[in-house]
Amino acid sequence: MNTIFRLSIVQQLSATPSIYQVDLQLTNGKDEQLSILTEYFQEEINFRTRWQQSGALLVKVGELNQAEELLNGLLEETYDEHDQAYYHHQLGYIKNELGNYEMALSHYEKARPIYLKYFSSDDSTLTSFYNNMALWHQEALQISKSIFPSNHPLLAVAYDGIGEIYYKLGFYSEAIKYRQDAYDIYVKTLPINRPLLATCLNNIGIVYCHTGKYTEAISYYEKVLDMRLNTFEKAIIRQRVDLLKPYNTIGLIHYEEKVYEQVIHYFTKASEMCEKEFYPSHPDLALTYNNIALVYDAQGDYSDAVRFHNKSLDIRRKDFA
């Protein structure tokens, strides 16, 4: 392994503001965090060439445009069919993440016949490929079902991935079905306080919201809220802040239905959470105050509307000061 340093201190030099002093600390073979990180990358980014590893790393860290540029260049240079299939597969994933679903399917279609030519139907590479495609979702499920038991969490991953693609493509009934299938498996195999369960319920609620089925959406968001509240005392700060999303989302749905009393209730809960967890000028607190003001305005309670608009405005002024 090459020499690796840990960032110790980064500080701006007062004499020369444009220059920073960076103190580095040399790592050693006993660095536990480095060992864990190295093992992770060896397992997650283990490919045939260094260039493929670089592309996979760029995808992992979210640098999708750079990954796309690299993979397109590699695709133009290779004559190896295995590599061509891999590059098309990864480019399909990137295009899907960037919202270009037509190009995503185009890349998947180019990768599929090559994968079918070289891999058996129970190969994990082919399963991974199909999990990125809704177009051939039944094949993906059949492969997964032939490998895993019916309640295996990896089968739930397949269902959830398919549901996500259907959601992005606007096929909401199919998205709900597959996401519900994923949740049904997770709830049987995971502890009730696992964040993944709340995420699954939240994803189903999102789909119902997009279809205008607000009653169903609220029922799922309330389950998310109950689940997160039940683990509130044990949760880390980031997870506590995750309570904001269901509070605000349920409030917004009630706002669409003009049930203003419920809107005020949930937005107030959100503001209390912001006041407790954030610094006084946090932008999320300004947004919450603004939401409350809009509700009072819709009710014709203009004095309270102005009061909360001013609270929001005060925060934004401090933010831009």
pLDDT in tens, 244-255: 788 888 998 998
241 and 252 belong to one structural domain: yes
Whether pLDDT at 218 is above 50: yes
Residues 36 and 51 in one domain: no
Cα–Cα distance between 175 and 155 in angstroms, integer? 16
The structure's pTM equals: 0.56
Q: What is the CATH number of the domain that holds 206?
A: 1.25.40.10
Residue 237 has pLDDT above 50, yes or no: no
Q: Give the structural domain span for 8.
A: 1-44
Mean pLDDT of the chain: 78
Ranges 26-30, 166-170, 177-181, 219-223: which has the least confidence: 26-30
- Is 204 inside a domain boundary? yes
What is the 8-class DSSP label of residue 191? -
Residue 174 in any domain: the answer is no
Which of 84, 102, 118 marks a domain boundary? 118
Q: Looking at the structure, do residues 56 and 23 belong to the same domain, yes or no?
A: no
Number of domains in the chain: 3
Residues 224 and 110 in one domain: no
Q: What is the pLDDT of residue 74?
A: 86
pLDDT value at position 158?
Answer: 77
What was the pLDDT predicted at 54?
76
Q: Is the pLDDT of residue 264 over 70?
A: yes
From 61, 84, 118, the end of a domain falls on: 118
Q: How far apart are CA 240 and CA 274, in angstroms?
A: 10
Residue at 179 is within a domain: no
The reply to whether 207 and 317 lie within a common domain is yes
What DSSP assignment string belongs to 95-109? Answer: HHHTT-HHHHHHHHH
Same domain, 51 and 22: no
Any domain includes 244: yes
Q: How confident is the model at residue 151 (pLDDT cuts 50, 70, 90)?
A: confident
* Neighbouring residues of 222: CB distance < 8 A, sequence distance ≥ 6: 246, 250
The answer on 195 and 85 residing in a single domain is: no
- Of 67, 126, 119, which is closest to residue 93 (Cα–Cα)? 67
Specify if 101 maps to a domain: yes
Q: Is residue 262 part of a domain?
A: yes
Q: Is the pLDDT of residue 181 over 90?
A: yes
Tell whether 161 is covered by a domain: no
